[in-house]
Chain A
């Protein structure tokens, strides 16, 4: 008998719209993690260019001084700050801290683990990342 596994796949995993801010946070955590990994690889490539002499190093540095370079660095600042702040929340949560206490559930069954503390931490992580990006923009594009 043929079987349709009906797995949601990457499309379902990446769709943050249906389950509230916690799923958006999950999605942002994955995206920023991948973004930071890409940056790390690029950064190692960039700094290792010094082995090829001063002129190569200088031309590589010039790439970061362009408008596109500044935009990428601003995104890196945002990704780094969000990933760190939300990561701290997740480290506590993964140890069982801040996820509420088990209790007899009552209708309408609002899950304790999706409590206001967690939601505030997610919004704060997004807010701090946005502020850091704005500061980064002002430094990189400022006079």
Chain B
């Protein structure tokens, strides 16, 4: 049987991939393992990590699924900035060394895998569904008609893939473990801005607390790292407009 070849083996360019390795059950701090990985113009950071996993170190723990920025599984810190490994090309980083670490502000499970449970629970807290008694499916159920303008109000914020990069970049999340975070607040806005929804007051009550929306200081880092153009910083400021009475 012919020996399996790395898909990028024929490449002349190589990059040093530094992978943070840690197992919280045994180690208190991460240690970096370095690998020389060949790459092409189109090689993503995830391709390189999987190359390492397949040919050099099978023990590297990484979570991934779709490889096309749709599932939000492969969020990690790439050269100090949160990003999706499948959506970041090595050639675009303009660096001979690529350092990958687990996302900040989430507990580490192992190596590059973090526990997103906290984010999912705050997401659920925002009641991420249309609250409207008429939305119950009955024999007489009719579709809700919306104008394109009404759709534009929230469609951008419904692109969230729950990758958690925004929470990782947020400076408030860095120090406040109880902060709801940009992901959850943006999802609250997504439903508040939807004219089919009648749960605005319920959601505004949830976010109007000491570790809620008022702890956002509009640093904008969440919007800069969002791989789907959701712009959480905008959503949060608009949401605050409702609480301050500028929007009805």
Instruction: Evaluate contact between A103 and B152: CB separation under 8 angstroms.
Output: yes
Residue with the greatest number of chain A CB neighbours at <10 A, chosen from B105, B114, B154, B218: B218
* 10 residue pairs A–B, Cβ–Cβ below 8 Å: A6-B102, A7-B105, A7-B175, A8-B174, A22-B218, A90-B218, A102-B193, A102-B235, A113-B218, A113-B231
With a CB–CB cut-off of 8 A, which chain A residues contact B244?
94-95
With a CB–CB cut-off of 8 A, which chain B residues contact A9?
174-175
Q: Which residue of A lies closest to B169 (CB)?
A: A19
Within 8 A of B (CB), among A69-87: none
CB distance from B201 to the nearest CB of A (A): 18
Instruction: Evaluate contact between B24 and A3: CB separation under 8 angstroms.
Output: yes
Instruction: Evaluate contact between B218 and A26: CB separation under 8 angstroms.
Output: yes
Instruction: Evaluate contact between B106 and A6: CB separation under 8 angstroms.
Output: yes
A4 to B111, CA, bound (A): 11
B49 at the A/B interface (Cβ < 8 Å)? no
Q: State how many residues of chain B have any CB contact under 8 Å with chain A.
A: 55
A100 to B238, CA, bound (A): 10
CB distance from B216 to the nearest CB of A (A): 8
Instruction: Evaluate contact between A18 and B81: CB separation under 8 angstroms.
Output: yes
Instruction: Evaluate contact between B154 and A102: CB separation under 8 angstroms.
Output: yes
Q: Which residue of B lies closest to A90 (CB)?
A: B218
Instruction: Evaluate contact between B237 and A1: CB separation under 8 angstroms.
Output: no
B134 at the A/B interface (Cβ < 8 Å)? no
CB distance from B199 to the nearest CB of A (A): 19
Instruction: Evaluate contact between B24 and A2: CB separation under 8 angstroms.
Output: yes
Within 8 A of B (CB), among A1-55: 1-10, 12-13, 18-20, 22-23, 25-26, 29-30
A95 to B159, CA, bound (A): 23
Stretch at the interface among B39-47, B59-67, B138-146, B220-228: B220-228
B155 at the A/B interface (Cβ < 8 Å)? yes
With a CB–CB cut-off of 8 A, which chain A residues contact B24?
1-4
Knowing A8-B174, A23-B171 are in contact, say whether A93-B218 is a contact too (CB < 8 A): yes
Q: Which residue of A lies closest to B227 (CB)?
A: A109
Instruction: Evaluate contact between B104 and A7: CB separation under 8 angstroms.
Output: yes
B68 at the A/B interface (Cβ < 8 Å)? no
List the 7 shortest-distance A-B pairs measured between CB atoms, nearest first.
A105-B229, A96-B241, A109-B229, A26-B219, A111-B223, A22-B220, A8-B174
A112 at the A/B interface (Cβ < 8 Å)? yes
With a CB–CB cut-off of 8 A, which chain B residues contact A111?
220, 223-224, 226, 229, 231, 233-234
A2 to B24, CA, bound (A): 6
Instruction: Evaluate contact between A106 and B219: CB separation under 8 angstroms.
Output: no
Q: Which residue of B lies closest to A100 (CB)?
A: B234
Instruction: Evaluate contact between B156 and A103: CB separation under 8 angstroms.
Output: yes
A25 to B233, CA, bound (A): 14
Knowing A13-B175, A26-B218, A111-B231 are in contact, say whether A102-B25 is a contact too (CB < 8 A): no
A114 at the A/B interface (Cβ < 8 Å)? yes
Instruction: Evaluate contact between A114 and B233: CB separation under 8 angstroms.
Output: yes
Instruction: Evaluate contact between B156 and A104: CB separation under 8 angstroms.
Output: yes
Q: Which residue of A lies closest to B231 (CB)?
A: A111
CB distance from A15 to the nearest CB of B (A): 9
A130 at the A/B interface (Cβ < 8 Å)? no
A60 at the A/B interface (Cβ < 8 Å)? no
Q: Which residue of A lies closest to B223 (CB)?
A: A111
Within 8 A of A (CB), among B100-156: 102-108, 114-115, 152-156
Instruction: Evaluate contact between B234 and A102: CB separation under 8 angstroms.
Output: yes
Q: Which of B173, B229, B230, B237 contacts A99 (CB 8 A)?
A: B237
With a CB–CB cut-off of 8 A, which chain B residues contact A6?
102-108, 114
A96 to B114, CA, bound (A): 33
